[in-house]
Structure 1
């Protein structure tokens, strides 16, 4: 009986690798006959695991999705990765994920062997997370509703609040969700404005019923991450500027986040930064605080503004 139970667990672990296995392959891995594999598969089905089987020489077994979530089998590295991930999940901008993470982590740590629990504790004890406080979190159910509308190609109706707090009703053909470290954005075709728009997901209040279905349009850019980055860091501002930074794009990316500006490589030692701000004065502070050498490409009046700020600082220092 113990041998059979151990073999079932081993079979389940193989099936959870999310690939097709032929009967002879599983039999070889388990050291049994294909007939025993078939019996073990039947036992897993009786336990509620949806094991799919396809006949023929090219057929095989694969674990499918069921009505309920069955127990998962994790190896040592996977278990440690999940435990550490659950501890840090609360910092990623989804409302309620912290409570759910704590509940899931409690269940996981209860069954972790001592050797793995020590690894997780060491990682947590000697790791200091540097996460920004979240001023606005998105309800997971809203995020799911937006994702489903993108998947199903269904028009989405919602109430939207802009940065000034003004509210409006929108009807959008949703295309994709784009996430940064702290926020989620919905990219979609605004029916009334007849143009592509980017919406902060935490400012969206869905107003079902949704629909009808639509034929997907050609997206506004091949790189939607760059498109959203440009929108939230540049296009949204009336004052825009382009700087030449004296370091590579890879190095600049360490200090310039997606919400700060868009980087474009020039060569191995320089790159362009396109960004925006509420005023030229704010732009000057913005670029100086990056702590890198730079030149102003445009606009011309920004150079004069930098000189003015320089003179004020020199006067203040005496």
Structure 2
């Protein structure tokens, strides 16, 4: 517990401890609060002065417990508890971001009654996404809460991070946003270790220490857009596609995670990278847009293979030869 925690805050924490552990002794209460046994008794006295019925008993089975007639607020969450609850809901229920949904409505009620510092942090990561494909992608709510609070407070963070090859690396970052997308939690940040913008997977963060150094995030940061654009870059195969559409129509059918859209003569240019050209070809084919793959040999081959499979699935009939007549 922080040394500068106010007496009022400690008294409320004492109330929570007594509620969670009926019969807790003054010594154990002091240990929970990080104070002496005498100070713990003083916080119990503060609660009694506030008309909170705290009963005490002596002997081996003695200690403090709540008396009859006390009506506590139904929700008393720490940031980590609140974020953990919301994370579990978002990961397990796709429609939880919709207040009209049954679960989404319940989640909205929880957010409304939480203290604003907690609700604001939780609201920051309330994004549409499906459940994680692998249980190993689940992240620690306490670590995620520290990252969200660091983003809200604009504080630099020292991280212990596991790289893709399994090596551990110490990093110092300016955190900008925590985002849930495609079943994974990401930290969007500026890395002083790499002197570059980075998107880090939260499930690979082994430790997070929030420093007192203040930082600044880019103005009018669209964290979700930046994240999705980042996810479309840095893979093995180049993607270069000309879409016969305007920018508005292309943006309606193609998510930002597929790449960057740029308006050019004759349509819109889609540029990205991918490790799976076959998957990328299927994404393009699923749209009603007319497109031409240019300058991407692996994607050209994947598109041709997909077209051949579709022709075969349709009975193997290709386009009629010139001059022939179909019945």
**TM-score normalised by L of structure 1:** 0.49
Q: TM-score, structure 2 length as denominator? A: 0.48
